[in-house]
Amino acid sequence: MVDKKKIKVGSPQTGCSSCMPNTFEIPLGPQHPALKEPTHFLLEVEGEIIVNATPRIGYVHRGIEKLAETKTYSANLTLVERVCGICSHIHSISLANAAEGALALEGFEVPMRAQYIRTIVAELERIHSHILWLGVAAHEIGFDTLFMLSWRDRELTMDLLEDISGNRVNYAMNEIGGSRRDMNQSQIDRMLKYMDITIERMERYKDICLNENTIRMRTQEVGILLPQKARELCAVGPTARASGVAIDVRYDDPYSAYGEFRDIFNVVTYDSNDVFSLVVVRIIETIEACIYIKWMLKNIPDGPIFKKAPRKVPEAQILSRTEAPRGELIHYLWSNNTNKPYRLKITTPTLSNINTVSEMMKGDYLADSTITLASIDPCFSCEDRMITVVNNDRRKAKVETWSESQLRKYSNDWHTANKRWKK
């Protein structure tokens, strides 16, 4: 193992490809066996060691924010679920919270049972997302046995979600003003039973990860992100918590039913600052999520699950923060007293975390690049939007900034060319 401190990284000489003839570039993606989603990383290597990594995103841009302006609020709940297939429920919670926050100005309240049902489904989603990640990470380090086993155990959670909502991926549980489906006693019993099994299995995986050499040798001292760097690069979610930064929206700014069990809530952190730390944090978080679900199922209040909300949302600007499985998710809603949003802006956790990957890869071996990339649990479908990342040192890309008049001309031209597009 090469001592990382001896390799000079990020100094002005090594940063520039033109003055360093002994570095060369390796493209990773958009179609690559290690990546399930299209994205592109340009790795600059010196021998076997990565000295620089430049992300290039935008392959999954589908124009969701603009599309949201043409749909009503309840249709938008369906749309934002399709932002990401893994954390679909948390997006719809976030938008529903934003719209209900605007309605609360006129004294609108959501029933408590609905909030509990939302939170239970959100935690179930966190369990399936984290177990999915564990499998993918095991696959990246060549430990396919763990991949198969963990995905088998994930099916229990998928069965529960299918039992509650009727769907495996996009649950469609939320409505502005409550929840669409209730839970009966047999479902609750089944959930309690399955949660016990999941906890038992995850305890076993925790033992495996802490003691098994296969995982330790591939993950320890790989992808180091120091706490100070994590704060500088605005890391969120498990990526930040694995660097010892204790931030969690569920604890810091409780939404839905998270305020009810704040005293038993633990913000899981670990301090080895590497990929191993991320594995441990995610496994312990899964066990914690099972415990919260069991608490909520035992304390769920009776009452209605839905209250009819007025169609028009009063004029307001709402910032809704939620904790997705990957970190902090922000929905910014600008309503204008109609049944459609005036502007919806989505900031997803992977967009915050993507810059940490370049930092984590520096000084590592090329063979470790895939596990480092997978370690932040990247979800590029969440993340792709119109931003430009330009590394002035090494890419002589031309970036044009449009003025307002140019934008207006483009928009007018586009709308005359596409008259059938409904707004």
- Tell me the C-alpha distance between 379 and 171, whole Å: 19
Pick out residues in 132-171 that bind other proteins (CB under 8 A).
132, 135, 147-149, 151-152, 155, 159, 168-170
Which of these, 126, 50, 134, lies nearest to 86 by C-alpha position?
A: 126
Question: How many residues form the binding site for other proteins (CB under 8 A)?
Answer: 45
Pick out residues in 363-402 that bind other proteins (CB under 8 A).
379, 381, 384
Across-strand partners of 43? 26, 53
Of the residues 19, 26, 197, 264, which one makes contact with other proteins according to CB under 8 A? 197
CB of 247 to other proteins, least distance (A): 25
> What phi and psi values does residue 268 have, to the nearest 5 degrees?
-80, 120
Residue 249 in contact with other proteins, rule: CB under 8 A? no
Burial classification of residue 238, based on how many CB atoms lie within 10 Å of its CB (0-12 exposed, 13-18 middle, 19 or more buried): buried
Pattern 103-132, other proteins, x by CB under 8 A: -----------------------------x
DSSP state at residue 234: T
Of the residues 66, 204, 262, 311, which one makes contact with other proteins according to CB under 8 A? 66
Segment near other proteins (CB under 8 A); pick from 54-62, 212-220, 257-265, 334-342: 54-62
CB of 134 to other proteins, least distance (A): 13
Please say whether the beta carbons of 218 and 141 come within 8 A: yes
Residue 83 in contact with other proteins, rule: CB under 8 A? yes
CB of 338 to other proteins, least distance (A): 19
What are the start-end ranges of the E strands in 24-67? 24-28, 40-46, 49-56
Pairing of strands 24-28, 40-46: antiparallel
Preceding amide of 304 cis, omega within 30: no
Segment near other proteins (CB under 8 A); pick from 66-74, 232-240, 279-287, 304-312: 66-74
Residue 337 in contact with other proteins, rule: CB under 8 A? no
Pattern 399-418, other proteins, x by CB under 8 A: ---------------x---x
The structure tokens 């940063």 sit at 15
Task: State the DSSP string of 368-411.
Answer: GHHHHHHHT---HHHH--S-----TTT---------HHHHHHHH
- Binding residues for other proteins, rule: CB under 8 A, are 30-33, 36-38, 58-64, 66-67, 70, 78-79, 82-86, 88, 132, 135, 147-149, 151-152, 155, 159, 168-170, 197, 379, 381, 384, 414, 418, 421-422
